[in-house]
């Protein structure tokens, strides 16, 4: 039995949905387990027949008949968004999507109050926004850490009195914190629309009525269901969310996600529930760098945007989609966080024919104020490698992010043909590339000889 673990080595949007769909189609995976992140995911899949969906909570193998999805206890679950997504899938030829999905009873639940609080805090940051998706994932996690006994879990959706009690407690907690932070500003301008979620008397009852469908569909399940599904699946895909450069502990604070973006959660599930599985870890990386929203992006360029075909778009919460030349320091940093990989997939190679040259960075110019132990320097003083700035002192992690945002990349270039670029990526990262993707569908993925045996 084999478990493929899909890990994004960038700032997200590298092609996890594409790879998951490929593994369901070409490797016979019958189960997709979401092992981190939450409802802010946007995993784009285009089928060979041209159907398209950006998967948020359903596994990205759902277009393949019979493939199941389990949202693990490490997921942050948005019930009403899940219902909207399932209904959308039905219009795209997947009428049984709900029948093939289960949610761990221990998964954290995002309420309308978490989502509104998330948006209000982002509005309050003005020009210093963190690039949140505005879904409420971080608020749900932070609330659960501060009030573990009062945190709302998927299992609570099956008990209306307990659900109502916990939901009202969430409303009161978030309301008090927001009033203490923003005061009368909450009734003004951009704040007022989101603040009405806390002021309207019907929000709680309307939401409870809406999520009653979750119970009626039988979507919430104990983890024993996942254990059984794993036992009866020869091949499973553990589909990651976001990317390791956004990791809660090792990403560039405060532009991070509230989730462990490495394979740790997936490995914990396998160790506990399916110790007989062999884990095959695949890292996914674009042949350039992309991030959606603010934060350090040392090799950022305006040259790539006109050449990239992208399903992502600028939106009011995350902000702009940004592009950058291949950054070997960020790539090696991501690989060090991901740990041992069995293969590397390079995606979006279809951009290469549109380039006159492929540019990359293997060092940053000297003179930037990185703290001791966070970088490797050449004798010239140039930065040649980055090391994670972990720890509880967020100010130190923010200083690291500011230093990274201030660097000037030393760009080099080579021919933009595929063979040259792949060899250069292997040279820069020290990893063998086992898979290539030249487009948005499973048919566009090619296995290289090392993986064909």
CA distance 190 to 16: 34
Task: Dump pLDDT digits (tens) for 337-366.
Answer: 999 999 999 999 999 999 999 999 999 997
Does 389 have pLDDT greater than 90?
A: no
Looking at CATH, the fold of the domain delimited by 2-100+223-452 is given as Adenylosuccinate Synthetase; Chain A, domain 1 (3.40.440)
By three-state DSSP, how is residue 153 classified? strand
Average pLDDT over residues 306-314: 83
Predicted confidence band at 452 (pLDDT cuts at 50, 70, 90)? very low
Buried b (16+ CB within 10 A) or exposed e, 261-281: bbbebbbebbeebbeebebbb
Question: What is the 3-state composition of the chain as percent helix, strand, coil, each rounded to the nearest 5?
Answer: 40, 20, 40
- Using a pLDDT cut of 70, give the percent of the chain over it: 98
Q: Residue 348: how many CA atoms within 13 Å on its side-chain side?
A: 25
Average pLDDT, the chain: 94
For residue 451, the model assigns a pLDDT of 54
Q: Does domain 108-216 have CATH number 1.10.8.60?
A: no
- Using a pLDDT cut of 90, give the percent of the chain over it: 87
Q: How far apart are the first and last CA of the chain?
A: 17
Task: Dump pLDDT digits (tens) for 50-68.
Answer: 999 999 999 999 999 999 9
Does 453 have pLDDT greater than 50?
A: no
For residue 391, the model assigns a pLDDT of 66
Average pLDDT over residues 411-435: 97
Q: In the numeric block, which tokens belong to residue 201? A: 């008397």
Domain ranges of the chain: 2-100+223-452, 108-216
The answer to which of 220-234, 306-320, 349-363 has the lowest mean pLDDT is: 306-320
For residue 311, the model assigns a pLDDT of 77
Average pLDDT over residues 186-203: 95
Active site residues: 13, 43
> In the block, which residue shows the tokens 């990403």?
251
Does 320 have pLDDT greater than 90?
A: no
By three-state DSSP, how is residue 344 classified? strand
Average pLDDT over residues 399-413: 95
For residue 5, the model assigns a pLDDT of 98
Task: Dump pLDDT digits (tens) for 90-130.
Answer: 999 999 999 999 999 999 999 999 999 999 999 999 888 88
């Amino acid at each position: 039995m084999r478990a493929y673990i899909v890990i994004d080595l960038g700032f997200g949007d590298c092609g996890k949905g594409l790879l998951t769909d490929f593994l369901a189609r070409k490797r016979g995976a019958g189960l997709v387990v979401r092992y981190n992140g939450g409802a802010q995911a946007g995993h784009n899949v285009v089928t060979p027949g041209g159907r398209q969906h950006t998967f948020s909570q359903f596994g990205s193998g759902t277009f393949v008949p019979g493939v199941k999805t389990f949202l693990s206890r490490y997921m942050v679950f948005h019930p009403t968004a899940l219902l909207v997504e399932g209904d959308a899938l039905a219009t795209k030829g997947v009428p049984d999507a709900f029948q093939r999905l289960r949610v761990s009873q221990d998964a954290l639940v995002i309420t309308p109050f978490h989502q509104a609080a998330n948006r209000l805090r982002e509005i309050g940051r003005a020009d210093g926004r963190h690039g949140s998706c505005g879904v409420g994932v971080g608020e749900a996690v932070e609330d659960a850490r501060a009030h573990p006994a009062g945190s709302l879990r998927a299992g609570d959706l099956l008990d209306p009195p307990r659900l109502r009690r916990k939901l009202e407690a969430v409303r009161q907690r978030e309301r008090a914190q927001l009033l203490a932070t923003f005061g009368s500003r909450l009734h003004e301008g951009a704040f007022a629309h989101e603040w009405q979620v806390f002021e309207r008397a019907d929000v709680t009852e309307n939401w409870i009525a809406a999520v009653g469908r979750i119970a009626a569909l039988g979507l919430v399940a104990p983890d024993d269901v996942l254990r059984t599904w794993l036992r009866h699946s020869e091949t499973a895909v553990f589909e990651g969310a976001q990317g390791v450069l956004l990791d809660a502990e090792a990403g560039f604070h405060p532009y991070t996600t509230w989730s462990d973006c490495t394979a740790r959660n997936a490995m914990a599930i396998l160790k506990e529930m399916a110790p007989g599985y062999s884990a095959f870890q695949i890292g996914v990386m674009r042949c350039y760098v992309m991030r959606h929203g603010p934060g350090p992006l040392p090799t950022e360029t305006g040259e790539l945007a006109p050449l990239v075909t992208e399903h992502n778009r600028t939106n009011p919460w995350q902000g702009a989609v940004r592009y950058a030349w291949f950054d070997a320091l960020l790539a090696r940093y991501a690989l060090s966080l991901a740990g041992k990989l069995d293969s590397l997939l390079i995606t979006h190679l279809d951009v290469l024919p549109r380039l006159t040259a492929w540019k990359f960075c293997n060092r940053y110019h000297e003179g930037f104020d990185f703290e001791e132990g966070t970088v490797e320097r050449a004798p010239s003083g140039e930065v040649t490698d980055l090391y994670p700035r972990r720890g509880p002192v967020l100010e130190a992690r923010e200083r690291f992010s500011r230093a990274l945002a201030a660097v000037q990349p030393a760009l080099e270039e080579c021919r933009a043909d595929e063979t040259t670029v792949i060899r250069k990526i292997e040279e820069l990262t020290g990893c063998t590339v086992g898979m290539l993707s030249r487009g948005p569908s499973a048919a566009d993925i090619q296995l290289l000889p090392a993986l064909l045996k």
